[in-house]
């Protein structure tokens, strides 16, 4: 949960109202885990939070977006099953779709709320915290001295300067889109990252006219050009994609019926000016932390030009020799829930007298999953990172899912998998993929990287037939085959085997 603040340093006019051993600022995934862990052995612990006492994931992120995706998948399968001999007329009730999203979201929220309700009232403070120049925490009418501070203030959607004023009520972000009571007729999505791509496809499958804009000719942050091109090919038929385009102007105006709508003037990839008009503009240009507004600099924390803390211990979130921990999205290291959860646990362990458990966690293997259809994954090192290692000999094992047996049976046969293998160690360096069941392939490869499992050992495991996971075996066999070829003869960029 984000905990923005403006500076209000009036500590000289106040007396310290409370002294605590540990103060956690922010009650999202990282903050709640940190508080629970610290509170096991330290009685004098508090948690301060501004806004809802759930998490970004449950309230405005992972869960409501997957609820929308689930509805979209049902609609898509119902509408496009003619190849199986199944014909149907589909009616989408937008109000019912959004009502279920909100109801199920509330169901998930209730579990977190019940947990928070079980915490002692004197350890919970609802309010906006700011750390003043004396290193004291100001919140509501209190002035708190904490021996150790864990900052877990999360992130918020980034909105370019001026856009909020220009778009007014037609502006949506991932924090507000799930509050819609009905599906709109039309929407523009700006940003083709994970959030933008998932929501754009979901709305399109639910009958909304969707136009996706992105400044670069890329989707989902893909860094492997072949996988990116395949992803665009697989996804492009479901919505209008204006990739490699720039937004020249946007705002609101009245249409021919006198209704207030949003508009966008843009320049496309061919330098041709274009125009869009519709109900809403969903700005999905990323999320940013806001720890610069919490006052962490008054604790001696240094930030870089992107608001990321310097001297960060990626295992515990500890900042150098300071008794300050910055965890979860607040540190902008790897803004993913499983990482935030681990960081919160480790920080909460670290502040305890017996903190050995904090150092047992391995640094997380990078893994991202975009839940569009087909899914997009990145695991381990990216292709550019590998290429930057001049002495690293690698091969790329490839598997197409266009004619992969089970994928074709299910009618989801569009995809491509690249596995980057190290010739010296016979281990997986990383992978990138667009294709069906990619989320499971991501977990298998992440486990292999984390536990140093070789390609040969992966191939020794059984691959049941017929499954989509047989495509993983195809790519691994391609890696193994190329391992035996002299490295100088392999063109890792152009090989199409």
Name the residue with higher pLDDT: 414 or 390.
414
d(CA 2, CA 246): 30
pLDDT band of residue 486 (cuts 50, 70, 90) is low
Mean of the per-residue pLDDT values for the chain?
A: 93
- Sign of torsion over alpha carbons 78, 82, 87, 90: positive
Closest CA to 366 of 333, 319, 331: 333
Comparing 11-51+127-157+288-359 with 163-286, is the CATH topology the same? yes
Instruction: Provide the CATH number for the domain formed by 163-286 in this structure.
Output: 3.50.50.60
Residue with tokens 């890696």: 479
Give rounded-to-5 percent helix, strand, coil for the chain.
Answer: 35, 25, 40
pLDDT band of residue 292 (cuts 50, 70, 90) is confident
Whether residue 496 is predicted with pLDDT greater than 70 in this model: the reply is no
Helix (H, G, I), strand (E, B) or coil at 161: coil
pLDDT per residue over 178-210, tens digit each? 999 999 999 999 999 999 999 999 999 999 999
- In words, the CATH class of domain 367-489 is alpha beta
Whether residue 492 is predicted with pLDDT greater than 50 in this model: the reply is no
pTM for the structure as a whole? 0.91
Structural domain spans, the chain: 11-51+127-157+288-359, 163-286, 367-489
Token code pair at residue 62: 């992972």
Q: Which fold has domain 11-51+127-157+288-359?
A: FAD/NAD(P)-binding domain (3.50.50)
d(CA 121, CA 106): 22
d(CA 277, CA 170): 11
- Distances in Å between the Cα of 381 and the Cα atoms of 193, 233, 389, 455, 491 are 19, 24, 11, 16, 19
pLDDT band of residue 493 (cuts 50, 70, 90) is very low
């Amino acid at each position: 949960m984000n905990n923005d603040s403006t500076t209000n340093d009036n500590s000289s006019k106040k007396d310290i109202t409370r002294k605590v051993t540990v103060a956690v600022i922010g009650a999202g995934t990282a903050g709640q885990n940190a508080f629970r862990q610290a509170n096991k052995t330290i009685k004098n612990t508090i948690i301060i939070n501004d806004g809802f006492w759930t998490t970004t994931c449950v309230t405005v992120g992972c869960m409501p977006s997957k609820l929308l995706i689930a509805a979209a998948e049902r609609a898509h399968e119902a509408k496009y099953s003619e190849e199986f001999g199944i014909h149907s007329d589909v009616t989408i009730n937008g109000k019912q779709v959004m009502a279920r999203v909100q109801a199920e979201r509330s169901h998930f929220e209730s579990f977190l709320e019940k947990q928070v309700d079980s915490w002692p009232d004197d350890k919970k403070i609802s309010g906006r915290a700011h750390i003043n120049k004396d290193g004291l925490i100001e919140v509501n009418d209190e002035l708190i001295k904490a021996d150790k501070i864990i900052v877990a203030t999360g992130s918020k959607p980034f909105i370019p300067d001026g856009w909020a004023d220009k778009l007014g009520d037609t502006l949506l972000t991932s924090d507000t889109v799930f509050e819609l009571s009905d599906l709109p007729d039309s929407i523009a999505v700006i940003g083709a990252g994970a959030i933008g791509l998932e929501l754009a496809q979901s709305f399109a499958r639910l009958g909304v006219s969707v136009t996706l804009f992105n400044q670069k000719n890329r989707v989902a942050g893909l860094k492997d050009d072949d996988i990116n091109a395949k992803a665009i090919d697989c996804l492009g038929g479901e919505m209008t994609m204006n990739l490699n385009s720039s937004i020249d102007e946007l705002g609101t105006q009245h249409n021919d019926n006198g209704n207030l709508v949003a508009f966008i003037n843009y320049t496309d990839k061919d330098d041709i000016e274009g125009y869009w008009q519709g109900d809403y503009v969903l700005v999905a240009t990323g999320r940013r932390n806001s720890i610069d507004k919490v006052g962490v600099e008054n604790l001696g924390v240094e930030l870089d030009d992107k608001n990321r803390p310097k001297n960060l211990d990626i295992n515990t979130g500890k900042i150098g020799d300071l008794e300050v921990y910055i965890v979860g999205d607040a540190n902008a290291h790897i803004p993913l829930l499983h990482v935030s959860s681990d960081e919160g646990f480790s920080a909460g362990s670290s502040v305890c007298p017996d903190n050995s458990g904090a150092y047992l966690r391995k640094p997380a293997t990078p893994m991202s999953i975009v839940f569009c259809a087909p899914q997009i994954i990145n695991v381990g090192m990216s292709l550019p990172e590998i290429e930057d290692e001049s002495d690293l000999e690698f091969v790329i094992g490839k598997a197409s899912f266009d004619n992969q047996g089970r994928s074709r049976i299910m009618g989801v046969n569009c995809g491509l998998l690249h596995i980057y293998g190290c010739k010296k160690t016979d281990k997986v360096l990383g992978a990138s993929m667009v294709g069906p069941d990619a989320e499971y392939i991501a977990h298998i490869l992440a486990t292999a990287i984390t536990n140093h499992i070789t390609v040969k050992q992966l191939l020794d495991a059984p691959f049941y037939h017929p499954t989509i996971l047989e495509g993983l075996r195809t790519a691994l066999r391609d890696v193994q085959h190329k391992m035996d070829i002299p490295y100088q003869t392999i063109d890792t960029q152009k090989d199409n085997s």
